[in-house]
Amino acid sequence: SQKIEQNSEALNIQEGKTATLTCNYTNYSPAYLQWYRQDPGRGPVFLLLIRENEKEKRKERLKVTFDTTLKQSLFHITASQPADSATYLCALGDNAGKSTFGDGTTLTVKP
Amino acid sequence: EPEVTQTPSHQVTQMGQEVILRCVPISNHLYFYWYRQILGQKVEFLVSFYNNEISEKSEIFDDQFSVERPDGSNFTLKIRSTKLEDSAMYFCASKEQGIQETQYFGPGTRLLVL
């Protein structure tokens, strides 16, 4: 069956460091992959989308890589700030446009 | 910036009652979705809707659920006879034309079934 795994439920880092979050998947061939941010009690907020034929995408302090051979995406936040503390969701998209979400990784950036 | 809106933000209902959750997608979007998130769990796909019909639905989306786009702006999710396990956050999402475009989510409706 399809499986999406995001690394450790919680990740704690010091302000200014780079946070790296992992999304691994099995039994799935996504057409694209999205990363969302979710704060408690709120809806997912779109951050970045990367397609299957793309290797890397950047947006300000965010970078996403996508390796369809390893079946893995890495999400990096550079120069992290306490305001980056949230749960980050990986979502795989299929050719029907449906998204399948991972459990999320809760990032805490300590001042 | 355009955004997806949802009403109500919170809904409390008795088991067995019908509820209608409302969404206004972003105006030029053509694909519409409902997802739910039980407290502490992952976001789960319920249904997708395009060209005035359901394009895909999950196992969760049984006969108790229905969706409708009654006019040019609203997109609704109806749960006919609510169960305790329907308690969750329900998110509406929409996207522009094009399969490989991102979905934009609304703020959600928190449904509590007593």
Query: How do residues B40-96 score in pLDDT, each as one tens digit?
Result: 999 999 999 998 899 999 999 999 999 999 887 899 999 999 999 999 999 999 998
Q: What is the per-residue DSSP string for A7-30?
A: S-SEEEEETTSPEEEEEEEES---
Whether A98 sits inside 8 A of B104 (CB atoms) is no
Backbone angles phi, psi at A52, to 5 degrees: -65, -25
B65 close to A (CB below 8 A): no
Q: What are the structural domains of chain B? A: 5-96+103-113 (2.60.40.10)
Residue-wise pLDDT tens digits, A34-50: 999 999 999 999 999 99
Instruction: Test B100 with A100 for CB contact under 8 angstroms.
Output: no
| pLDDT at position B84 | 97
Mean predicted confidence (pLDDT) in A48-64: 95
pLDDT more than 70, % of chain A = 100
CB contact under 8 Å between A96 and B48, yes or no, is yes
Please write the tens of the pLDDT for every residue from A1-38.
778 999 877 899 999 999 999 999 998 888 899 999 99
Number of H helices, E strands in chain A: 0, 11
**Which pLDDT belongs to residue B97?**
77
Share the mean pLDDT of chain A. 93
The structure tokens 């999320």 sit at A104
In chain B, % of residues over pLDDT 70: 98
Q: Which residue in the set A45, A97, A101 is minimally distant from B42, CB to CB?
A: A101
Architecture per CATH, A27-93? Sandwich (2.60)
Q: Which of A99, A100, A106 to mutate to test the interface with B (most CBs of B within 10 A)?
A: A99
List the single residue in B41, B45, B110 with the smallest CB-CB distance to A99. Answer: B45
Closest CA to B32 of B87, B76, B89: B76
Residue of A nearest to B42 (CA): A103
Q: Please give the pLDDT value at position A35.
A: 96
Contact residues, chain A, for B45 at CB < 8 Å? 98-100
**Number of other CB atoms surrounding residue B13 within 10 Å:** 16
Q: How confident is the model over B19-41, as a mean pLDDT?
A: 94
Q: What pLDDT is attached to residue B99? A: 64
The Cα–Cα gap between A66 and A92 comes to: 11
Nearest-10 Cα torsion for B29, B32, B34, B37: -40
Q: What is the pLDDT of residues A73-91, one digit of tens each?
A: 999 999 999 999 999 999 9
